[in-house]
A and B are shown apart, each in its own frame.
Chain A
Amino acid sequence: MPLSLEEVEHIATLARLELSVEEKARYRQQLSAILDYIRKLQELDTTDIPPTSSVLSGAGPLRADESRPGLSREALLENAPEVERGQFKIPPVFESHV
């Protein structure tokens, strides 16, 4: 069952990916083929099988919940595309652009 163009657009929106018309068409075909293959899993009865979330048995030990020195603000802002007054800068979020 191939994905519809609307489904591809919906996934791209959820994933925040801007796609061209050609990309949508190509991914629609490729993802449909991959999903077809993946559906092979449905043939297995897994009623009583627990899901694996970690391959290692037993939870790892937790470290103490204490504050410790981390990277400096300067080091963290060093790679930012836009910075103002020691903070990441982005366009206004709560304003509407009409």
Chain B
Amino acid sequence: MSDLTDLTLTQAIVALHKGETSSRELTRACLARIERLEPSLHAFLYLAAESALAQADAADRELAVLRKANSQSTKPLLGVPLAIKDVLTVEGLPCTAGSKILEGFIPPFTATAVRRLQEAGAIVIGKTNTDEFAMGSSTENSAYGVTHNPWDTSRVPGGSSGGSAAAVAARLIPAALGTDTGGSVRQPASFCGVTGLKPTYGRVSRYGLVAYGSSLDCVGVLARTAEDVAILYTIMAGRDPLDATTAGAPVSKIEFVGADGRPPLRGLRIGIPREYFVRGIQAEVEAGVRQAVSVLEGLGAEVREISLPHTEYALPVYYILAPAEASANLARYDGIRYGPRIQAESMWDIFYCTRGRKFGAEVERRIMLGTYALSAGYYDAYYGQAQKVRTLIKRDFEQAFEPSRCCAQVDAIAAPVAPTTAFPIGAHGDDPLAMYLEDVFTLPANLAGVPGLAFPVGFDGAGLPVGMQLMVPHFREDVLFRMARAYQQVTDWHMRAPSL
């Protein structure tokens, strides 16, 4: 067998069940590769090597019993190592959210999304790097140092789930969890050449997720193939009594259309929103996306141009709503109940000093922006107006997906993920607005709550991955997987590996 770390999640599951490898061998192979490449990538904030190997041994014993009895495991992920973005809690493992204000925090509970994967047999190998509190598009805002893009270590991996994206791209781990509030799964997936899902809002429980923008936050998956992403998504999705915003709607069954000779995407209509192909987009990104769309067309899909007229307002809406929600969510970090405390004379001074010294600059900026937008005299003009414009953005999507409108109706929307490929570390220096503009194509899906899937569709002249995203109506993740899988069966961009 070739290098174990080259296995996709699906291949690893098969190899484990057939006994071609053991969970210990697979986990050790990941740990060995992490040890070799971490110095140049810094994808991880914490490694749980010992507990992962102990769990691997336990999984191997279970797998041996199953093989002897010639029976299938009820745990689809038995013995598979995974990495978790450090904004999701795993009981007993440090959780910093990339912030000094949570340094040393050991959560006493496990996030529902992680728990469901563990119950399916998965092993948590470690926690991956993230922009502080998931606020950023490059992981440069992590208080613990930047993650490097495996395709070019002088460049960012994207963010905020940059650690997870880099880890999957560099074959440190077959799959990892990320979170997407404004593009934080899809953009790093695109920058690192992996497949990344932002599910429908409310589809995967947020219990145990360090809250940033609660009306936008989604737990997502990064892996090498659409099939791999679908496996983890299906296990995590569904109602959770611990998160009242999780939807009760049944999880749509993932059906990959079989080889019956028909074009796999026949009958599907893809919309190309003209607002996503604007001045400033890198020519190779536009070319890559258009090329990928013609591949989908060749697979039987129908393509038409559509309009999402309020796209340009997504960025200002997001940068009011997300900071406003963050300013409330991050009020809990006060040096009283967890995290470090800067001792002071009064309780008030503890708040001021602990928060002022332990939060990083981007977090302070967003807290202040949100506080301002919610403050007396400005509420209607900023927060109120943003909530209304959010309705307009949501309606853009509803109209595009609306079955009764004969001329505009589509099943999926195809668009670039980001205006450019991965940018150099430090490129946006101290210009937060320039960094925000990186999110311009990913924000609308979060504001509308629709699911999106990013996957690699080529490379630019510098050898950096180009990504495309598909967006579909609420709860139709099955369409995303079907389309991306059909694409990945006739292309091999997703199987390319960086030389490291």
User: Chain A: residues with CB nearer than 8 A to chain B?
Assistant: 3, 7-8, 11-12, 14-19, 23, 26-27, 30-31, 33-35, 37-42, 44, 46, 49-56, 60-63, 71, 75-76, 78-82, 88, 90-93, 97
A44 near B389: Cβ-Cβ < 8 Å: yes
Contacts of B327 in A (CB 8 A): 15
Among A3, A31, A41, A91, contact of B350 (Cβ-Cβ < 8 Å) = A91
Which of B141-149, B150-158, B334-342 interfaces with chain A? Answer: B334-342
Among A31, A42, A55, A90, contact of B448 (Cβ-Cβ < 8 Å) = A55
The 9 nearest A-B residue pairs measured at CB:
A55-B449, A18-B356, A51-B387, A79-B338, A81-B341, A46-B388, A75-B108, A18-B352, A52-B390
B432 near A71: Cβ-Cβ < 8 Å: no
Contacts of B359 in A (CB 8 A): 17
Which B residue sits closest to A77, measured CB to CB? B337
A55 near B394: Cβ-Cβ < 8 Å: yes
Which A residue sits closest to B385, measured CB to CB? A41
Given the interface contacts A18-B355, A49-B388, A53-B387, does A71 sit within 8 Å of B108 by beta carbon? yes
A94 to B241, CA, bound (A): 39
A80 near B336: Cβ-Cβ < 8 Å: yes
Which A residue sits closest to B347, measured CB to CB? A90
B109 contacts partner chain A, Cβ-Cβ < 8 Å: yes
A15 near B108: Cβ-Cβ < 8 Å: no
B337 near A41: Cβ-Cβ < 8 Å: no
Which A residue sits closest to B436, measured CB to CB? A34
B371 contacts partner chain A, Cβ-Cβ < 8 Å: yes
Among A14, A19, A38, contact of B319 (Cβ-Cβ < 8 Å) = A38
Interface SS, A side: loop
A15 to B340, CA, bound (A): 18
Which B residue sits closest to A59, measured CB to CB? B244
B368 near A27: Cβ-Cβ < 8 Å: yes
B433 near A33: Cβ-Cβ < 8 Å: yes
B474 contacts partner chain A, Cβ-Cβ < 8 Å: yes
B234 contacts partner chain A, Cβ-Cβ < 8 Å: no
Contacts of B331 in A (CB 8 A): 16
Of listed A11, A19, A80, residue having the most chain B CB within 10 A: A11
CB distance from B386 to the nearest CB of A (A): 6
Which B residue sits closest to A74, measured CB to CB? B108
A90 to B432, CA, bound (A): 36
B381 near A42: Cβ-Cβ < 8 Å: yes
CB distance from A16 to the nearest CB of B (A): 4
A8 to B371, CA, bound (A): 11
CB distance from B112 to the nearest CB of A (A): 14
Residue-wise, chain B 150-180 has the 8 Å CB interface mask toward A (1 for contact) of 0000000000000000000000000000000
B347 near A91: Cβ-Cβ < 8 Å: yes
Given the interface contacts A27-B364, A80-B336, does A46 sit within 8 Å of B392 by beta carbon? yes
B247 contacts partner chain A, Cβ-Cβ < 8 Å: yes
Count of interface residues, chain B, beta-carbon cutoff 8 Å: 73
CB distance from B218 to the nearest CB of A (A): 11
A sample of 18 more A-B contacts (CB under 8 A), given A40-B312, A55-B394, is: A7-B372, A11-B375, A12-B368, A16-B348, A17-B355, A17-B364, A17-B368, A18-B353, A30-B365, A31-B369, A37-B433, A41-B386, A46-B392, A54-B245, A90-B336, A90-B347, A91-B345, A92-B346
Instruction: Tally the A-B contacts, defined by beta carbons under 8 Å.
Output: 171
A82 to B381, CA, bound (A): 42
Among B337, B351, B389, B390, contact of A16 (Cβ-Cβ < 8 Å) = B351
Contacts of A71 in B (CB 8 A): 108-109
Can you give 18 contacting A-B residue pairs, CB < 8 Å? A3-B372, A11-B368, A16-B334, A17-B352, A19-B356, A19-B364, A27-B365, A30-B430, A34-B433, A37-B316, A37-B319, A44-B389, A46-B389, A50-B391, A52-B391, A56-B247, A91-B350, A93-B347
Among B248, B350, B368, B430, contact of A15 (Cβ-Cβ < 8 Å) = B368
Contacts of A55 in B (CB 8 A): 201-202, 215, 394, 447-449, 474
B369 near A34: Cβ-Cβ < 8 Å: yes
Contacts of A78 in B (CB 8 A): 106, 108
B355 near A16: Cβ-Cβ < 8 Å: yes
CB distance from A89 to the nearest CB of B (A): 9
B118 contacts partner chain A, Cβ-Cβ < 8 Å: no
Given the interface contacts A60-B244, A78-B106, A79-B106, does A90 sit within 8 Å of B350 by beta carbon? yes
B340 near A81: Cβ-Cβ < 8 Å: yes
CB distance from A51 to the nearest CB of B (A): 3
A16 to B336, CA, bound (A): 14
A26 to B282, CA, bound (A): 31
B464 contacts partner chain A, Cβ-Cβ < 8 Å: no
B207 contacts partner chain A, Cβ-Cβ < 8 Å: no
A83 to B391, CA, bound (A): 46
B388 near A51: Cβ-Cβ < 8 Å: yes
B residues 88-124 with Cβ under 8 Å of A? 104-106, 108-109
Which B residue sits closest to A34, measured CB to CB? B433
Given the interface contacts A15-B371, A49-B388, A91-B345, does A41 sit within 8 Å of B338 by beta carbon? no
Among A12, A54, A63, contact of B241 (Cβ-Cβ < 8 Å) = A63
A81 to B336, CA, bound (A): 7
B382 contacts partner chain A, Cβ-Cβ < 8 Å: yes
Contacts of A46 in B (CB 8 A): 385, 388-389, 392
Given the interface contacts A42-B385, A97-B346, does A60 sit within 8 Å of B372 by beta carbon? no
